[in-house]
Amino acid sequence: MSDLETGGRPIYKVYKRRFWGLAQLVLLNIVWLTFSSISTTAAEYFDVSESAINWMSTGYLFAFGVVSPLVIWILNKGGPKPAIVITASLLLVGNWLRYAGTRANGGIFGLAMFGQILIGFAQPFCLCAPTRYSELWFSDQGRTSATAVASLANPLGAALGQLVDAEWATKPSDIPNMVLYISIISSVAAIPSFFLPASPPTPASASSAEPHTPLGVAVRQLITTWEFWQILIPFAVYVGFFNSVSSLLNQILSPYNFTETEAGIAGAILIVVGLVTAAIIAPITDRYKHYLGSIRVLVPIVAATYIGLIFSPSSAAGIAPSYVVMALLGASSFALLPVVLEYLAEITYPLSPEIGSTICWTGGQLLGACFILIQDALKAGDDARPPLNMRNALIFAAVVACVAAPFALTIGLFRVVQRRRLDVDRGVELDQMSVLDDQAKKIASGGDTETLIKS
């Protein structure tokens, strides 16, 4: 229970120790490695095709989908702490198995792939935890920022990987040492996970003190909520294309004579500009709560950048247009992600936030795996001009991204959508929510607005 003021009113408190858990989530979300930015070098080392190397990315995306029901159950029943411990354990095993696969007998691709899949099992436990962690430990004045920091650490790790991999593996024989360095770093990062507190001594806010809807009931309610689908569809599509484009970036640029280093820089620009933009947008959202307005501004920008990506690699201006498109894509995507996740938690409360976020992330990862396979299949042949270009794959991405946009843009246009969790934090009781919902429906259907205004 929370502390009490005179008169029995609860006092909610946040603790400095919340930042230790947040820092650990950040670390666990950073220490990822794929071979996407050095796909040519990795393919030569393992003596396999680049399509086989693409499966190193695709495999752990499918692994994400396999383990996601367990992720929801663990986060719902045990909270963030067990999920963080499971992440750390799987990272330790997966990374060292992957290293063994690169070192043994000059490279055993199957063993390296197995380690990659274990890491794929680990990823959803920490990637889906931020909304649950931020609701448990942070007030409404810091939740979006906390979710942003923890969630966006994952693509930050991808950006670091784009740069570091290209520097550490300039030739095929460098691959084992590169994986060794990453394994050591991830092992050190995983150790503090076992010593974190499970929950704060007292609730951080009124909404975190209220009991959540039971898991089975919550899932049924969620999948029958139209606004959830309006968020899920574009979220999954944009996360999916972010995964596929970042994984295939070297193959998108290399037909136009750009190097792996230049592809690595493009990937880093995508992430770094995105992180800077999110660092600006998230605190503003925490203060003003303009979730829906941000969504309506950022979604069209995301869709437009996929159109720009069709033309930028072949531009006569060289690599610069691709860098600009990557910067715009990163800025809009990263600013959008925590806003959407927190908005989903707000409008589906008292459903526990990890349910919706895990389903959204799972959709994004599964679509990412599918998009990698589809776009790889759409790669032009050796007789194309230029050979092996991915123009058709980029057209596919642009079309689907534009089709997904209206789902998000029409949220709230046909009925009033309440930010229920924020209402609770401001003093509205849960048993009043159904009354407010009924009044909102009457307004949306053209009824009298006076009743809601007075309430």
Question: Average pLDDT of 168-184?
Answer: 88
Using 50, 70 and 90 to split pLDDT, how confident is the model at 267? confident
pLDDT above 70: residue 441 = no
Q: pTM value?
A: 0.85
What is the structure's pLDDT at 450? 40
What is the structure's pLDDT at 53? 81
Place of tokens 């996407």: 36
Using 50, 70 and 90 to split pLDDT, how confident is the model at 454? very low
pLDDT above 70: residue 91 = yes
Q: How do residues 11-47 score in pLDDT, each as one tens digit?
A: 789 999 999 999 999 999 887 666 766 778 888 888 8
Identify the weakest region by mean pLDDT among 141-150, 397-406, 417-426.
417-426
Using 50, 70 and 90 to split pLDDT, how confident is the model at 246? confident
Using 50, 70 and 90 to split pLDDT, how confident is the model at 329? very high
Distance, CA of 250 to CA of 128 (rounded, Å): 28
pLDDT above 70: residue 179 = yes
What is the structure's pLDDT at 431? 60
Bridge partner residues of 3 (DSSP): 11
pLDDT above 70: residue 383 = yes
Q: How do residues 125-143 score in pLDDT, each as one tens digit?
A: 999 999 999 999 998 889 9
pLDDT above 90: residue 225 = yes
Question: How many angstroms from the chain centroid is the CA of residue 321?
Answer: 26
What is the structure's pLDDT at 8? 54
pLDDT above 90: residue 156 = no
- Homologous superfamily assigned to 17-194+206-414: MFS general substrate transporter like domains (1.20.1250.20)
Three-state SS sequence of the chain: CCEECCCCCEECCCCCCHHHHHHHHHHHHHCCCCCHHHHHHHHHHHCCCHHHHHHHHHHHHHHHHHHHHHHHHHHHHHCHHHHHHHHHHHHHHHHHHHHHHHHHHHCCHHHHHHHHHHHHHHHHHHHCCHHHHHHHHCCCCCHHHHHHHHHHHHHHHHHHHHHHHHHHCCCHHHHHHHHHHHHHHHHHHHHHHHHCCCCCCCCCCHHHHCCCCCHHHHHHHHHCCHHHHHHHHHHHHHHHHHHHHHHHHHHHHHHHCCCHHHHHHHHHHHHHHHHHHHHHHHHHHHHHCCHHHHHHHHHHHHHHHHHHHHHCCCCCCCCHHHHHHHHHHHHHHHHHHHHHHHHHHHHHCCCCHHHHHHHHHHHHHHHHHHHHHHHHHCCCCCCCCCCCCCHHHHHHHHHHHHHHHHHHHCCCCCCCCCCHHHHHHCCCCHHHHHHHHHHHHHHHCCCCCHHHHHC
Q: Do residues 207 and 88 touch, judged by C-beta distance below 8 A?
A: no
Q: How do residues 71-80 score in pLDDT, each as one tens digit?
A: 999 999 999 9
Mean pLDDT of the chain: 87
Q: Do residues 266 and 399 touch, judged by C-beta distance below 8 A?
A: no
Question: Average pLDDT of 166-195?
Answer: 88
As a residue count, the chain comes to: 455
Share of the chain above pLDDT 70, in %: 90
What is the structure's pLDDT at 440? 45
What is the structure's pLDDT at 427? 77
Q: Do residues 32 and 123 touch, judged by C-beta distance below 8 A?
A: yes
What is the structure's pLDDT at 373? 86
pLDDT above 90: residue 272 = no
